[in-house]
Amino acid sequence: RDFNERCAQCSEVNWGLTDGGRFYCRSCHNVTERTREVVNTDFITNSRVQTISKGLRKPEEKDGGCEWYICEGFQLVLKKQVEALEALGVCPQMKDEILCNFWRCYLQKSKQAYCKRSAGETVKALSVCESSTDVDSDPERPSLLHLLSLSESEGDLQTDCSFASSVSKVSESTSVYSGSVDGSLYLMKNQKEKLRMTMPMTLSFCYMALLWVREPITLSELLRFVVEGHIPYLNVFQHFPEKMKLCGLDLKIFCVESWPVYEEVFNKMHELAAFLDLPRFPDITDSCFLHPDMLCMKYLMEANLPDELHNWTCRVVKKIGIGEVDFLTLMPGNKSTRKVKYDVLAAAVIVVVLKLLFLLDDHYEWLLSEFAEERNKNNTEGGPYFEFKKWYEVVKHSLDVEQKKLDEEKAKYLWRCEKPLFYSVKNKSKVLKRRQMVVNLQNQFGKLSGSVQRAEKPNPSSFQLRWSEENTGSCFHRHSLKGILQEKCGLLTAMNPDYWLCTVKLCNEKLCGHLAHYREVEFPQSYHFVLGLFSFLLRIQPSYIHDEVCMIEHKLFNKKLCKKLKYNTVLRK
């Protein structure tokens, strides 16, 4: 964009970019030798950037396939994902400016592209022209079985047992190890060094871009959209162009058989941000969606809790300083600050507020509820007081219904797609036969399923639980907290004088991975219920929320804790 030279041919300043990254004049189509300097962002130093040299590409193979590199595949995946995000309403800059540049930066840093290739390093595919004896006798070349056993995460594709033995018999010249040029090499690489790209990492890229642009999509939402199919992830390879043949080890890289886990995507994103040497991300201020005040409001609504609780969440946020810009904004590479999980944090704040006001010890909250019930019976003017019991019943009912639906959906999930996957050309026919049989059986039993049609993908929605505000019997947003509050010195405080800590001592997160260890039986049922509610909404394990709750509590009661560490865990506020 900042290229201001006049065109040599027509003297216009009207430049575009070819696929190869060179500038061409839009008026006269003169292609220059100048390649694009990435000037836009602050974070990439003004190094000369070169695209993947076209010279490496061989002419298309006879079966219509072409040579392609793994990173090209991932580039396609990212493209699809960000297009889907755009369709969801994310700003278009994300695709062309943000994610694109993140990706290029990654390629450069990991030396897959945009850099000079060192002389000794060649991308050598393991072809099967060599006889099996060669393969066996070369100790440096990893055996196929070894490569296949390298897995990023457990539960990946199990190998076709016959594949390994059949490989040595193949005499075709095309590589059966992978359809891509560098599939086998890719898996061999030491992942620690260069942050090897994986499918879950594509989501880390997306999340990173979303965070940079401060879009109102949390990580848990993003992952939920992925599971619901609004963002391509599973089987995204079926959108690869025909000529990009996928087989062998490519499957290990591109085919996922498990849903991404929050922690994994989250941690990878931070690793990535540090790897790319990114500067401080744009500020998360209190007008941002990701700010705890905002997220709390959303979650309060979704959890069908009174709006009045928002005052309390804001108070807690303020008191412990988690609403500060410096706390919330991501500073890549800074190991001392704890990484912020915006959604989990907000949920945890709500849990803490509930504990502050209702104690949640399986006694007090029901007692308060009884008082509110009495009051509501005798006095109907001025709006109803919030009754914990009623809320519990309403929410539990909906939650059970939704959870049951979700469980069934998980069981009915279809993982395969039309595009057949095979490790080698040899078992292609077997794979196709199997696929045909599967389709037949699906048809046969599908007909017997009755009128149950597989429902259309529901429209992506930010809210999973909805409460109609007209119905004050089952919607608690407008209910009042008056019954549980009292005024003291001009300040509204909770009537509940007690608080119990989830844990007296926090664990060392770096050592055991958690701040605390959540075991359902050790905590009151109400607490467990509340954790379960947010666990469902965020689609994460209750223990993560529990961790954040512990963290917040320790910040909140810091002074008191330092004094009385030995005795009872019930504190007077």
Partner 1 sequence: SPNEHKLNFKKSKEACLSYIQDALLQQQWKRAAEFLTCYVESLEKDYSREHIGPSEMIWRIGTEILWHHSQSSMKEFNCFMEQMKTLGVKRYLKVCLEHVFHLLCNGQIDEAYQNLSLAESWRFGEQTAIQDKEMKLVQAYRGLLDYCSWSKQKNILLEQGEDGFSDLAVEQEMHGYFRKAAVNLKEIIKIPGVWDVFVKCYVDLLEFYGDHNEARQVLNEYAYNSKFPANPNAHVYLCQFLKRQGESKKSLISALKILHDIVPSHELMIDFNTMLQKSKKRRKRRLGLEVIFAALDYAGWKENAKAWSCLARQVKQIVISEKHLDWVKQEWNSRKDWWPAFHFSRYLAKRNWQENKSLSYEKALVAGILLGKDCKYFKYVSHQGCKAQLKRFRMLKKFVNRHNPVCLRISG
The verdict on 403 binding partner 1 (CB under 8 A) reads no
Our CB check for partner 1 shows the closer of 117 and 434 to be 434
User: Which of 11, 442, 525, 569 contacts partner 1 by CB under 8 A?
Assistant: 442
The verdict on 153 binding partner 1 (CB under 8 A) reads yes
Give residues 259-288 in contact with partner 1 (rule: CB under 8 A).
259, 261, 263-264
User: Which of 440, 461, 462, 472 contacts partner 1 by CB under 8 A?
Assistant: 440
Residue among 167, 186, 187 nearest 176 (CA)? 167
Q: How far is CA 96 from the centre of its chain?
A: 21
Residue among 568, 521, 514, 502 nearest 544 (CA)? 514
Our CB check for partner 1 shows the closer of 317 and 551 to be 551
User: Which of 161, 455, 489, 491 contacts partner 1 by CB under 8 A?
Assistant: 161
Handedness of CA 160, 164, 166, 170 (dihedral sign): positive
Our CB check for partner 1 shows the closer of 29 and 404 to be 404
The verdict on 381 binding partner 1 (CB under 8 A) reads no
Region of 131-139, 214-222, 255-263, 322-330 interacting with partner 1 (CB under 8 A): 255-263
User: Which of 159, 166, 168, 464 contacts partner 1 by CB under 8 A?
Assistant: 159
Give residues 493-552 in contact with partner 1 (rule: CB under 8 A).
513, 541
User: Which of 28, 129, 437, 512 contacts partner 1 by CB under 8 A?
Assistant: 437
Our CB check for partner 1 shows the closer of 162 and 337 to be 162
The verdict on 435 binding partner 1 (CB under 8 A) reads yes
- Rounded Cα–Cα distance for residues 479 and 387 (Å): 9
User: Which of 138, 172, 408, 522 contacts partner 1 by CB under 8 A?
Assistant: 408
- Rounded Cα–Cα distance for residues 189 and 200 (Å): 18
Residue among 272, 227, 239, 234 nearest 254 (CA)? 234
Region of 122-130, 203-211, 254-262, 296-304 interacting with partner 1 (CB under 8 A): 254-262
Cβ–Cβ under 8 Å, residues 447 and 457: no
- Rounded Cα–Cα distance for residues 277 and 524 (Å): 45
- Rounded Cα–Cα distance for residues 219 and 208 (Å): 10
User: Which of 154, 242, 381, 487 contacts partner 1 by CB under 8 A?
Assistant: 154
User: 363 vs 58, 350, 381, CA distance in Å?
Assistant: 74, 19, 28
Least distance CB 259 / partner 1 (angstroms): 5
Give residues 324-363 in contact with partner 1 (rule: CB under 8 A).
none
Residue 494 exposure: Cα atoms within 13 Å on the Cβ side: 22
The verdict on 449 binding partner 1 (CB under 8 A) reads yes
Give SS3 for 489.
Answer: coil
User: Which of 63, 119, 452, 491 contacts partner 1 by CB under 8 A?
Assistant: 452
User: 557 vs 220, 499, 568, CA distance in Å?
Assistant: 28, 10, 14
User: Which of 122, 133, 158, 336 contacts partner 1 by CB under 8 A?
Assistant: 158
Our CB check for partner 1 shows the closer of 8 and 441 to be 441
How many chain residues interact with partner 1 (CB under 8 A)?
41
Q: Is residue 85 exposed (0-12), middle (13-18) or buried (19+ Cβ within 10 Å)?
A: buried
Least distance CB 444 / partner 1 (angstroms): 7
Residue 26 exposure: Cα atoms within 13 Å on the Cβ side: 6
- Rounded Cα–Cα distance for residues 347 and 534 (Å): 7
DSSP lists the bridge partners of residue 486 as 493
The verdict on 434 binding partner 1 (CB under 8 A) reads yes
Which residues lie below 8 Å from residue 363, measured CB to CB, with a gap of 6+? Answer: none
Which residues lie below 8 Å from residue 408, measured CB to CB, with a gap of 6+? Answer: none
Cβ–Cβ under 8 Å, residues 111 and 275: no
The verdict on 455 binding partner 1 (CB under 8 A) reads no
User: How is residue 446 written in tokens?
Assistant: 């599908």
Region of 297-305, 324-332, 433-441, 467-475 interacting with partner 1 (CB under 8 A): 433-441
Our CB check for partner 1 shows the closer of 113 and 249 to be 249
Least distance CB 449 / partner 1 (angstroms): 4
Q: Residues interacting with partner 1, by CB under 8 A?
A: 153-155, 157-161, 257-259, 261, 263-264, 407-408, 410-416, 431, 434-435, 437-438, 440-442, 444-450, 452, 513, 541
